[in-house]
Homo-oligomer: A and B are copies of this chain.
Amino acid sequence: VPQDRIPGQEARTKVAAIQMNPAFGEPKVNLARTCDLIDEAAARGAEIIVLPELCVSGYVFNTRREVAALSEPIPQGPSVTAWSDLAQRRGIYIVGGVCEREGENYYNSAALVGPRGHIGTYRKTHLFFEEKMFFEPGNLGFPVFRLPMGNIGVLICYDLRFPEPARILTLKGVDLICSPTNWVAMFNTRLWDDSGFCMANYIVMGSAAVNQVFFACADRVGVERGVQFLGASTITGPSGWPIAGPGSKDQEEIILAEINLSDARRAKAKNEFNHTLADRRIDLYDHMLGYSE
């Protein structure tokens, strides 16, 4: 047992956010690359590994036909099959972005696999920009998956720009929000600050702090069809402060942190007067659901 483990807090889990640079329209190359990076992260002790959004297909689609050609069913498709094999062999959990096909519908999804194969799927609920041309909005709600080390949920990129999804996951008991992302430069006035953080990092820090949950955000890097991605993958703790990262702006890398997922529960009891879930004023929150008084 390493010296830095606090007594009573031995139930630690290594979490990895994999920052990578997929090549558009090269699913076999990209899938092989995800497996190499998963292997490397697992060799470094990672038990929960997060891959970026649409990391096998690429992101910047021009036509629905391209989406069709690069999509795959979950769990039968090649990505989830390969990740399940790895997860079983390594005894790990993987959350990875998948361009999902179900019948004639396409979803910007993330699959969760573990030692016993496919566990569940999240379909991005808030679609950004031209995603609305190609994908259906997610119709599976905000599921929370109960793993041996804690409860995890998934949000994808633009989902993070709404306060509701992370809050709903929190109310459902999530400890760690795994976020496959493709943070884009476009529409941002300022890409990174002097600390190497982009605005999405600060949104995540704020959300981690108000919900007292962990986040593992795996972003992609590179430029695809003129669209630049921001990197800056992070792992953030329930106090809101980052634990690992930000990753670089343009290089592939693995962001790794050892955490105790139960800290997300302890953090909610602030002091003898305040538990942040009990302090909610649900008597005043009915306005949350719409515009009307």
Q: Is the CB–CB distance between A285 and B163 below 8 Å?
A: no
Number of copies of this kind of chain in the complex? 2
Main secondary structure of the interface of A (DSSP, over half): loop
Known: A239-B199, A280-B162. A288 touches B207 (CB 8 A): no
Question: CB < 8 Å: which of B209, B274, B289 contacts A286?
Answer: B289
Q: Is the CB–CB distance between A162 and B276 below 8 Å?
A: yes
Query: With a CB–CB cut-off of 8 A, which chain B residues contact A187?
Result: 270-271
Known: A279-B162, A281-B125, A284-B141. A206 touches B195 (CB 8 A): no
A129 → chain B closest CB, angstroms: 5
A145 within 8 A of B: no
Q: Is the CB–CB distance between B241 and A125 below 8 Å?
A: no
Question: CB < 8 Å: which of B186, B199, B284, B291 contacts A125?
Answer: B284
A76 → chain B closest CB, angstroms: 27
A65 within 8 A of B: no
A60 → chain B closest CB, angstroms: 14
A117 → chain B closest CB, angstroms: 26
Q: Is the CB–CB distance between B210 and A279 below 8 Å?
A: no
A180 within 8 A of B: no
Q: Is the CB–CB distance between B207 and A163 below 8 Å?
A: yes
A8 within 8 A of B: no
Q: Is the CB–CB distance between A241 and B279 below 8 Å?
A: no
Question: CB < 8 Å: which of B125, B202, B239, B276 contacts A189?
Answer: B239
Q: Which of A34-42, A43-51, A94-102, A164-172 contacts B (4 or more CB under 8 A)?
A: A164-172
Q: Is the CB–CB distance between A172 and B287 below 8 Å?
A: yes
Q: Is the CB–CB distance between A288 and B162 below 8 Å?
A: no
- The CA of A125 and the CA of B286, in the complex, are separated in Å by 14
A245 within 8 A of B: no
- The CA of A169 and the CA of B242, in the complex, are separated in Å by 28
Q: Is the CB–CB distance between A199 and B209 below 8 Å?
A: yes
Query: With a CB–CB cut-off of 8 A, which chain B residues contact A209?
Result: 161, 199, 202-203, 206
Closest B residue to A280 by beta carbon equals B162
